[in-house]
Amino acid sequence: MAVEASLAGRTFPPTTSYDVTEQAVAAFAAATGTPYRSGGPAPATFPIVVAFGAMQALMVDPEVGIELHHVVHGQQRFVHARPVVVGDRLTATLTVTGLRQIAGTDIIATSSAITDATGALVCTAEATLVHQAGA
């Protein structure tokens, strides 16, 4: 089944807050071999950890109608207001910014605003999810 056309424009509730720890940033940097100095900026793609939570919430929402095993990550872009640092308490709020439906495929454009404990924008994570609706 294709997802509901009304999905476009919908904003989902903010994710529960995520505390950025030294351990989490160091593990992320180590897994990708990225230079990281303790207390310094986290790798530029680290906010995916928070954005992924928001994408999961979209994908498991029964009202949306996404079949999880038919989703491919098509595109990703980060726009940083500032780098993430250890001690940040981050929340992601996902909006479906576009929906195109072509021959049984849903192309779902999302934008997750990642904010810190003061509500200031840290990063915008834009993901395009390609959903092959099952027969």
Partner 1 sequence: MAELTPTTYPVTRADLVAYAGASGDPNPIHQDPAVARSVGLPDVIAHGMYTLALVARYVDEQLGESGRIVELGAKFTKPVVVPESGTEVRVEGTWRDERTIALRVTCGDQTVLGNPVAVVRA
Q: Which spans of this chain sit near partner 1 (rule: CB under 8 A)?
A: 24, 27-28, 30-37, 40-41, 43-45, 48-49, 52-53, 69, 72-80, 83, 126, 128
Which H or E element spans position 53? Answer: helix 48-60
Return the number of the residue (73 or 100) whose C-beta is nearest partner 1.
73
In whole angstroms, the minimum distance from the beta carbon of 70 to partner 1 comes to 10
Give me the phi and psi of 62, to 5 degrees please. -65, -25
In whole angstroms, the minimum distance from the beta carbon of 37 to partner 1 comes to 7
Return the number of the residue (11 or 32) whose C-beta is nearest partner 1.
32
Could you tell me the two tokens for 121? Answer: 């924008």
What does 102-124 look like in DSSP terms, one character per residue?
A: ETTEEEEEEEEEEE-TTS-EEEE
In whole angstroms, the minimum distance from the beta carbon of 3 to partner 1 comes to 20
Return the number of the residue (63 or 124) whose C-beta is nearest partner 1.
124
In whole angstroms, the minimum distance from the beta carbon of 6 to partner 1 comes to 26
For residue 68, what is the DSSP state?
Answer: G
What are the CB-based long-range contacts (under 8 Å, 24+) for 23-32? 24/49, 25/84, 25/86
Return the number of the residue (3 or 127) whose C-beta is nearest partner 1.
127
For residue 10, what is the DSSP state?
Answer: -
Three-state DSSP at 98 gives: strand
